[in-house]
Structures are given as structure tokens and as C-alpha cells.
Chains A and B, each alone.
Chain A
Amino acid sequence: MKKTFAVLLALTMALTLCLTGCGGGGERIVNVCGWGENIDPELISQFEQETGIKVNYQTAESNETMYALIKQGGTDYDVIVPSDYMIGQMIEEGLLAELNYDNIPNFELIDSQYKNLSYDPENKYTVPYTWGTLGIIYNPTITGGEIDSWSALFDAKYAGQVGMIGNPRDAIGAALLYLGYSVNTTSEAEIREAYQLIADAKASGVYQGFFMDQLYDKMEAGETAVCTYYAGDFLSMHENNPDLRFVVPKEGSNWFVDAMCVLASAEHKEEAEAWINFICKTDSCLANMDFIWYASPNAEALEQYPAYYEEVNGEPMDPALYAVMAAPADVLANCEAYVNLPAETLALYTDLWVELGIG
């Protein structure tokens, strides 16, 4: 009995070894992890044809999920595309590899505005992929009027019509902005004040619930009238419901950058850099912008996009929509990027979020 078990164990181990080993042999591959619906699938096959490198594209739901998966081990990602604040945290923890920019000549095409940002001040680890703003999406046919302030998320006037965003950083961030504080504040009093604002709004029935991607359906169907979400996703919703409008509130907002990074544990670093270089090409950026509706940091692509849109879709792009996609300088000047918060502040966010669910 004991012996059989030992043999079986040995067989299982040998099998696992073979399975993991076989992947690395022969062909060149790169494992990429990004958000769902965040890349034009055409680009993947184009890259595979051009370079002969096979792309395994996997998706994660949020920065936090991606981080947890990587921390737990058992992932084989080479390239990941997290957001600014998460990149800061991952660099701090030594999870990312320094890039060899000689292999990424197209990095030059990236507008200098998106280089050397606070999460990677010397730009040693990252190549920006997309950027955008957080704002309020609303349906004027239901609200019966325009919205220009974060107050809409806490106003009893919209009771039962608001879909609050389901992640603590953005939800508490919106409340902080409304109160006139920084989204990166570490003051416990300010964060608690922002939390109280949300808790009170919840208690007085302003919110339908706390949603993430369900918002697509709910906003498009007119089930939810007001929510806070990202510019690129608004454009996707707008395709299905042209009534919807997007506004960066007057109090200012968060602007974010999602950037491509290579994990320190990556087994295919060269292939990963080839992939990043390919994605930075102006052609790739144009195709991608047209598919995912998020603005590219590639200066040429950003400038050429309205013309490209007209060529592909046969009609000129609405300048108002373009301004949502690529927020103009005066809007951006009023926005603040997230930075990685210290551990105590993150713990406070987490505790408050649980408290909100308990209450």
C-alpha cells in the first residue's frame, strides 16, 4: 500500500515536471496579462505572424486581483499591464524587472508627458500603454439635468439612481475630491470624513449598490442613471446608449496611466520586450485605440486618431467624444494621479470598506 502510494506520487511529480517543462521547449512564447477587452485581438495575430512568437493573452479583473495572483505564485506572466499606483507598489516590492530600452526603440514615440511619472520617476521599469480620467457618467434623460460635481454621488436628489463604484480607492477617492482633499492623502481624519460621506449616502438610500463591470449593462439599459467610471469605458457604453454623458467634475479628478511592465520572474524577457515594442508602434496604437476606446500615450497616434477614425468608420469623430477619450490639457491640469499609499493607509481603506459592507 505504502509502496503504491510512493510510486503514484513519483508519477504525479514526473508528470507535472514534464507538463511545465514542455512549455519552454522549441517555440518562443510570451505570456501577457491585461484587463478583459483591453486589446485589439488583431494585434496579437499580427505580432505572432511578424515575429513567430506565440502570445498567451490572459486577463485579470482588477489591479488587486492581478497583484494577488502574482503574489500567490503559480502564474507565468511575462508582461503585465497594471495601473500607476499598483506599479509603484510592485516596484517597491521588487516584483518588476528593469527594462532594456535598446530592445524597445519605439519607446521614443511615447509623449514625454507620460514618461518619468511619479510611480517610476526614472522610467526604468515601464512603458505606458493607455491613459484616461475617472469621471461621472450620467443619463440626462433620467436625471433631468446636467451634472458637473462629485456631489451627485452623495446627493439625496438622486436617491436610488446611483451605482457607486465597487472599489475602495476610487469610491473614497471621489469623496475626497468632493471634500476638496487630495486623492493621495494619508490623513486618517480626512479619509474617515470621506468614508462617512459615502456611509451616510448609502444609509439614506442614494446607492443601488456597488458595481464594477455590471455598470456597462446597467447604464446602457437606463437602469442606473449616475455612476463614476473610466473615460474609455464610457465610450464603450456610449456606443450602445448615445444618451449617456461623461464629465470630469469641476472639483478635479483622478487621471491614470496603465503601463506595460515585465515581471522580475519573467522567463521570456526578450520576447516580452519585443511585444512591448510592437505595441508602441503608431499603427498598433491606432488600431488599439479604435478597439478599446482608451487614449494611447503615443504622440503620433493620439494626433492622427480623429483622421484614422474617419477613415475606418466613414464619418468624422465627434470632437466632444475625442475630448473625453484624450482629456485636453486644462482638464488634466485639474486631475491628480494616484500614488501608492503607505501600508497603514491601505489597511485603513480596507477596514473602512469592510465596515461599509457591514453597516
Chain B
Amino acid sequence: MKNKRSLFAVPYVGWMALFVVAPIVMVVIYAFTAAGGGLTLENFSRMGSYAVVFTRSFHLALIATAICLLIGYPVAYMISREGPGLQRVAMMLVMLPMWMNFLLRTYSWMSILENTGLLNRFFSAIGLFKLLNTVFGTDLEYFAMINTKGAVVLGMVYNYLPFMILPIYSVIAKMDGSLLEAARDLGANSFGVFRKVILPLSLPGVLSGVTMVFVPSVSTFAISKLLGGSNELLLGDLIEQQFLGTAYNPYLGSAIALVMMVIVVVCMALMNRFGEGEEQAVML
């Protein structure tokens, strides 16, 4: 029986070996290779000068993840409380944007946020700027939204929010209703039920949601290019430059990617500690 089961796993193991393990091994090898060949630690010695980029990327990704959690948790919770028909529709609406290409969606945010973009034209059409200018004596023509850090965070939140909602929703929706009834029977009010039962039981979903939002946010380069105007280099931009830019230094690029991966793994491990043995959720 056991042998048969492992036979079924072969294609998956082969796939993982080829497309997950092999690339990581290559990144590790490249990271320790000098441009002319031979082992070296030189690629890591330059990492200090990129410290700002690391902190900036982690900072923005953390903000984006926090916002996603703040929006995503209540949304997932409310959806799971609705009837099955409404739940299906709501889930479809959450996933609908993902049917469109990620770059296209981000590109359209560019035209929404620009100084002459949709939002600013709308504000100006309803006379908002005129009102503000007369009230505060200012000289506003538009809100500067594009090419700022805020726009980058917005892009991350918009693009990755479904990855926060979906895992939390699926955990809450599958929760055993009798547990909630038991809690109420034992005298908990609805806040107590939420705090003592629902919240702890939904933690695995929260953890995997946080991972699924944080990891792509910290490594993005398209969002910072389109919405941030490449004004502030993020980790993803830095790595992309090493592989596809003037620099062409895949060794340094791999070293940066490796350091980033290690930091992310350490963060996840720490988070697991708080999640008290919910590793499987984070690995999702």
C-alpha cells in the first residue's frame, strides 16, 4: 500500500526536483561563484551597501501585508458568515481580477493614479480642488499619487489581497460549527467566541495568507517600476538589474536573492513560533 502511494508521488517529486530544488541549488552555486569562476565570498561583501534597499523592501512589504490582513480578515470572516449562494458569488468577485494579467492590472493603476489620471480628473470634475483651494487658500491642481511609496504599497495590496482573503476564508468556512455552539453554551458572548475560538482556529489561514502576501511583495519589481516610477530601488529591481540590466552580474544577483530568501525563511520560522506548531499552514 505504502509503495503504491509513493509511486503516485513520483511525478510530483520529479517536478519539484526539476523546477524548485534545482533552481535554488543553482542560485546557491552562483552566489558563491566569482565572475571568472572559482569559489568566492566576494558577492556577499557588497551586501552592506544594499542594506537600505533591503530595509526599504521589507518595510514596504510589511506595510502592505499589514493592510492586507486588516482588510482581508474582516472580508473573509464576513463572507464565510453568508449563505452558500452569496459566498460563491463573493469568492468569484475576489478571484475575478486574477483572470486578467498582473501587469495589465498594474498598468491600469498607473492611468488611474496619474496627475492627469482618472481619479484626479474625477476630483477636479466634482470641484474638489476648487473647494479645497478656497477653504485652505492652497493652489492644488491634483493630488500627487503616482510615483510615490504609497502607490507602490497600493499596488501590492491590490494585487495580493486575494492571497490573504482566500486562505483565511477557507479556514473559517471549514470551522466546526459545534465548537462555536459549545462556546456559546458555556457562556461566551459573541466577542468572546470570536476571540477565544474563531481567532485561534483561523490562525493557520492568517499565517499562510501573510506568507503569500509578504513573499511576493518583498520581491516585486514590476509594481515599483510602474507605480513607483523606479525612484526608489527595491530588492526585486536590484536583482532584475543584475540579470537583465546593464550590470549583467548573475553571481551578485544570486547572492542578493539568496540573502533575501534566508531573511524571508527566518521571518517565517519566527512567525511559526507564534503560530505554535502551525507549520503546515505556512508551508501551504
* A→B interface (CB under 8 Å): 1, 4-5, 8-9, 12, 61-62, 64-65, 67-68, 71-72, 160, 166-169, 202, 207-211, 214, 217-218, 221-223, 346, 349-350, 353-354, 357-358
Contacts and interface: CB of A to CB of B under 8 A. Distances in A.
Contacts of A209: 147, 228-231
Contact of B10 (A8, A67, A202, A208): A8
Given A5-B10, A214-B110, A64 B246 contact: yes
B247 interface: yes
Contacts, number: 87
Contact of A167 (B7, B233, B246): B246
B282 interface: no
B192 interface: no
A4 B10 contact: yes
Name the prevailing secondary structure of the A interface residues.
helix
Given A221-B114, A346-B246, A358-B52, A208 B230 contact: no
A54 B7 CA distance: 43
A169 B246 contact: yes
Contacts of B247: 350
B241 interface: yes
A208 B114 CA distance: 10
A162 to B, nearest CB: 11
B230 A357 contact: yes
Size range of the interface on B? 35 or more
Nearest to A202: B231
B6 A1 contact: yes
Contacts of B248: 64, 67-68, 71
Contacts of B238: 354, 357
B232 interface: yes
Contacts of B117: 223
Contact of A221 (B6, B11, B116): B116
Nearest to A71: B248
B250 A217 contact: no
Contacts of A354: 50, 233, 238, 241
A166 B246 contact: no
Contacts of B250: 72
B253 to A, nearest CB: 10
A202 B115 CA distance: 18
17 contacts: A5-B10, A8-B11, A207-B231, A208-B146, A209-B147, A214-B110, A217-B111, A218-B114, A223-B115, A223-B117, A349-B246, A350-B241, A354-B50, A357-B232, A358-B49, A358-B53, A358-B233
B276 to A, nearest CB: 35
A92 B98 CA distance: 45
B246 A353 contact: yes
B18 to A, nearest CB: 8
Contacts of B18: 12
A267 B138 CA distance: 66
A167 B248 CA distance: 14
Nearest to A60: B244
A68 B231 contact: no
A350 B246 contact: yes
A223 B114 CA distance: 7
B75 to A, nearest CB: 32
Interface string B236-267: 01100101111111100000000000000000
A245 to B, nearest CB: 19
B14 interface: yes
A221 to B, nearest CB: 6
Given A221-B114, A353-B246, A357-B230, 16 more contacts: A1-B3, A8-B10, A65-B244, A68-B243, A68-B248, A202-B231, A208-B147, A209-B229, A211-B230, A222-B116, A350-B241, A353-B241, A354-B241, A357-B231, A358-B49, A358-B52
B123 to A, nearest CB: 16
B181 to A, nearest CB: 47
Contacts of B52: 358
B8 to A, nearest CB: 11
B226 interface: yes
Given A353-B246, A354-B238, A211 B233 contact: no
Contacts of A211: 229-230
